[in-house]
A and B are shown apart, each in its own frame.
Chain A
Amino acid sequence: MSKTEVKIKHQASGKLVPATLINGVSIRQADLTQRAWDEALMKYLEGIPKEDWPEHTGWDWKRKYKKYGRLSAYHFFGIECNSVMQGLLLLSTLFRTSRIDDGKQIIYGAYLATAPWNLRQLTNNPQYSLVGSVLVAAAIETSRGEGCAGRFGLHSLKQSEQFYRSCGMSDLGVDGDHNDRLRYFEMTTLAAEKFLPE
């Protein structure tokens, strides 16, 4: 496990606060995070019609850890602030190729989510922002470390498409091969350089 000091934005004060980017989230951390997020979700979802729930409401990070967390081809990142996980990212380095730069290897953002209390969809007063941006930066850095020059791809949930566009990722449209027919986004080397200069 490695830790990197980063910052995220505390929305109420408008100030950047210290946080820790963890590469190698443990099963215990995944479990504690799932419990904390479930508890918060239950509170936020009261009174919200089911069709308006965030699409990733049912994700179980402990289960994802059990499935992928111990495999060397996966990187499990978390951002911790105030002793609580504010966002999680599961990256796959299994061989995949770019749909833009023909034949060039990319890494893949398998799952990415922020804590329920940071979701604008659930609350008018989200606690922290920049969690997603720091996780995208971590994905780019991991890609560079794997020799993929910043390239990475992911399938975005509908509610998050605007965020990935804001990162400069290319929207390659609905992926007919995806189980849920999500849109596929890819970060090119050029876009990665713009987002996070080396």
Chain B
Amino acid sequence: MKLKLTESWYANRAKAEESCMDIAAGASIRPITAAQQPKKKTTGTAANTTSTRTGTTTQKRVRRNEK
């Protein structure tokens, strides 16, 4: 992760946080099982590992096959 935070960023955020009580946030997400989650990338090429979450690659392939 390339997270570069400057001294002025810290100073501005410290000032902004002064009036805040807390930072907690909580989800309403349903737990998902291992079977439901996207598969981890394996050793395949970039072309066939993209968008496992959205299914974009699969849809494009189907369209190509229909032609």
Contact = CB atoms under 8 A, between A and B. Distances in A.
Nearest to A55: B24
Interface residues of A, number: 65
Interface residues of B, number: 32
Interface in B7-53: 7, 9-10, 13-14, 16-29, 31-32, 34, 37-40, 53
B53 A138 contact: no
Contacts of B19: 162, 166
Contacts of B5: 6-7, 134, 137, 196
Contacts, number: 143
19 contacts: A55-B26, A68-B31, A112-B23, A114-B24, A120-B20, A129-B18, A135-B23, A137-B5, A142-B1, A154-B25, A155-B26, A155-B27, A155-B28, A160-B21, A160-B24, A160-B25, A162-B21, A163-B23, A175-B28
Interface of B: 1-3, 5, 7, 9-10, 13-14, 16-29, 31-32, 34, 37-40, 53-54
Interface of A: 2, 4, 6-7, 9, 16, 21, 23, 54-56, 59, 67-68, 70-73, 87, 92-95, 105, 108-114, 119-121, 129-135, 137-138, 141-142, 145, 154-157, 159-160, 162-164, 166-167, 175, 177-180, 182, 185, 196
